[in-house]
Amino acid sequence: MDTINPNQGYYQPAWQPPMGQGVGMVGKASYYAQQYQGRPTASGEPYNMYDMTAAHRDLPFGTLLRVTNLQTGRFVIVRVNDRGPSKPGRIVDVSWAAALELGLVQHGSADVQVEIVR
């Protein structure tokens, strides 16, 4: 369903999965941390590296994702509140807290599967 909020001045069309994406996206994930702490995200909320959040290029803000590290099997549930990742070849950027749980902090990135929870 389309979202119209005249009080905040935005229109968000109902989400349609981009071609080649949807449930079971597989690719590289990375994270962002201290240097972005407190800065506004694309959704307008301040970035908090201790929250379980993520940046995705296309999914609507508020979408919950299950991100699974394919090497370790560890997973987290994150909420999309930002746009990105900016590096080519990455499908999602997660917060520092999510990266810590996934085991990404040491290496900086990992192969992951991303599934839409809701």
**pLDDT by residue (tens digit) across 21-52?**
445 799 999 999 899 999 999 999 999 999 99
Nearest to 95 by CA among 81, 115, 75: 81
Query: What are the pLDDT digits (tens) for 89-117?
Result: 899 999 999 999 999 999 999 999 999 99
DSSP classification of residue 35 = G
Task: Identify the pLDDT of residue 7.
Answer: 60
pLDDT band at residue 19 under the 50/70/90 scheme = very low
Nearest to 84 by CA among 76, 92, 95, 74: 92
Closest by CA position to 68, among listed 81, 54, 57, 58: 54
pLDDT of residue 21: 43
Helix (H, G, I), strand (E, B) or coil at 96: helix
Check residue 13 and give its pLDDT.
Answer: 54
Please tell me the distance from the alpha carbon of residue 8 to that of residue 21, in angstroms, as a whole number: 29
| Reported pTM | 0.79
How do residues 54-78 score in pLDDT, each as one tens digit? 999 999 999 999 999 999 999 999 9
Return the pLDDT at 86: 85
